[in-house]
Amino acid sequence: MPHAEIVRQLVEELERVGVDPDQMVAGLTSRAEEALRALRALPDGAGPAAFLAELRNQSSPVGMHGAAAAPSDTPHDPGPTSP
């Protein structure tokens, strides 16, 4: 899809859910597809907080070098330890 069409769709979806495209931080996500998927999952007028939450829910965790985090890279609570 041409870049101009992606930008047009992003702006249209941001406005539909009640997010001011002029106030969004540039580089919020490096993948326009993730932003569009998150926006399309929201109802009209959902607002900026809902968009950011949905974007976080749909984004893949990123490891130290930009690759998707492996389960062993994900912090976890080891629970109580035995003496």
Is 69 strand, coil or helix? Answer: coil
Please write the tens of the pLDDT for every residue from 9-42. Answer: 989 999 999 988 887 755 565 578 888 899 999 9
Nearest-angstrom CA–CA distance, 17 and 66: 29
Q: In this predicted structure, what is the pLDDT of residue 31? A: 79
Q: In this predicted structure, what is the pLDDT of residue 23? A: 76
Residue in the structure block whose two tokens are 């930009």: 66
Domain boundaries defined on the chain: 3-61
| Bigger pLDDT: 44 vs 68 | 44
**In contact, 38 and 58? CB cutoff 8 Å:** yes
Please write the tens of the pLDDT for every residue from 36-53. Answer: 899 999 999 999 999 989
Does the model's pTM come out above 0.85? Answer: no
